[in-house]
Chain A
Amino acid sequence: EIVLTQSPGTLSLSPGEKATLSCRASQTVSTYLAWYQQKPGQAPRLLIYGASNRGNGIPGRFSGSGSGTDFTLTITRLEPEDFAVYHCQQYGSSPRTFGQGTKVEIK
């Protein structure tokens, strides 16, 4: 089973700042990597698939990069609605697995 390790666990930033979230896989997943945003009490939302493709309706300030075992989600200029928990998921290998999440909180 591929283990995904997300870092940091918590990121404290101010609105307008840039957020850089990391996801590292224990084995290569090529570019079969997705990112989701989760807010309390809400359904998770797909942000990125294929490591770098934005989902439908996702603003341009969200971008994904990486391949193999190292991936990054970048949020340029945090908006108030971006403070949430972010999860990465690999879907290149069975069982499909998730990271533990990175919480982006208001500093």
Chain B
Amino acid sequence: QVQLVHSGAEVKKPGASVNVSCKASGYTYTTYYIHWLRQAPGHGFEWMGIINPSGSTTTYAQRLQGRVSITRDTSTSTVYMELRSLRSEDTAVYYCALDYADYVDNRFSPTYYFDHWGQGTLVTVSS
């Protein structure tokens, strides 16, 4: 059974950085992409970024470019999301989500829908 386990809740001051981790287990194959999304109170989900199976390639949402970084430790099946220069509007629950990918034209490509989600990490930004 696939599990994505998040690190614990965080409280940060404006201008600080936060690092959230997500550890995957129960999935035999390594060919999966990991996405990060967030959900602010009373809002829908917002897609933040994606990292490929090897951890060599990332793509970020345009509005978060320059503030977000996603990295991956394949040896521990853990993915990290760092968000910098935090603002009050970054207060949200942050989720990692697994994308099994499609194998098309002899290569894997992300589907951009989310087969499994973690339970989320609440990040509160407050002075």
- Which A residues lie at the B interface, using CB under 8 A? 34, 36, 41-46, 49, 55-56, 87, 89, 91, 95-101
Query: Are A99 and B44 neighbours in the complex by a CB distance under 8 Å?
Result: yes
Size class of the contact patch on chain B: 20 to 34
Query: Are A91 and B95 neighbours in the complex by a CB distance under 8 Å?
Result: no
Q: How far is the CB of B30 from chain A (nearest CB, A)?
A: 19
Query: Are A87 and B45 neighbours in the complex by a CB distance under 8 Å?
Result: yes
Q: In this assembly, does B114 line the interface, its C-beta being within 8 Å of a C-beta of chain A?
A: yes
- Given A44-B45, A98-B47, 7 more A-B residue pairs with CB atoms under 8 Å apart are A43-B120, A44-B117, A56-B115, A87-B45, A91-B112, A95-B47, A97-B47
CA–CA, A55 and B117, complex, Å: 13
CA–CA, A98 and B48, complex, Å: 12
Q: How far is the CB of B46 from chain A (nearest CB, A)?
A: 8
- Which B residues lie at the A interface, using CB under 8 A? 4, 43-47, 61-62, 95, 97, 111-120
Q: Which residues of A contact B115 (CB under 8 A)?
A: 46, 55-56
Q: Which residues of A contact B113 (CB under 8 A)?
A: 34, 46, 49, 89, 91
Q: Which residues of B contact A56 (CB under 8 A)?
A: 115
Query: Are B111 and A91 neighbours in the complex by a CB distance under 8 Å?
Result: yes
A42, A43, A55, A95: most-surrounded residue (chain B CB, <10 A): A43
Q: How far is the CB of A86 from chain B (nearest CB, A)?
A: 12
CA–CA, A50 and B15, complex, Å: 40
Q: Which residues of A contact B114 (CB under 8 A)?
A: 34, 36, 44, 46, 89
Q: Which residues of B contact A45 (CB under 8 A)?
A: 117
Among all A-B residue pairs, the 7 with the closest Cβ atoms: A91-B112, A43-B117, A34-B113, A98-B45, A98-B44, A44-B117, A100-B44
Which residue of chain A lies nearest to B2 when distances are taken between CB atoms in the complex?
A56
Which residue of chain A lies nearest to B96 when distances are taken between CB atoms in the complex?
A43
Option from B43, B61, B95, B111 in Cβ contact (under 8 Å) with A49: B111
Option from A41, A43, A100 in Cβ contact (under 8 Å) with B4: A43
B47, B113, B115: most-surrounded residue (chain A CB, <10 A): B113
Q: Which residues of B contact A41 (CB under 8 A)?
A: 119
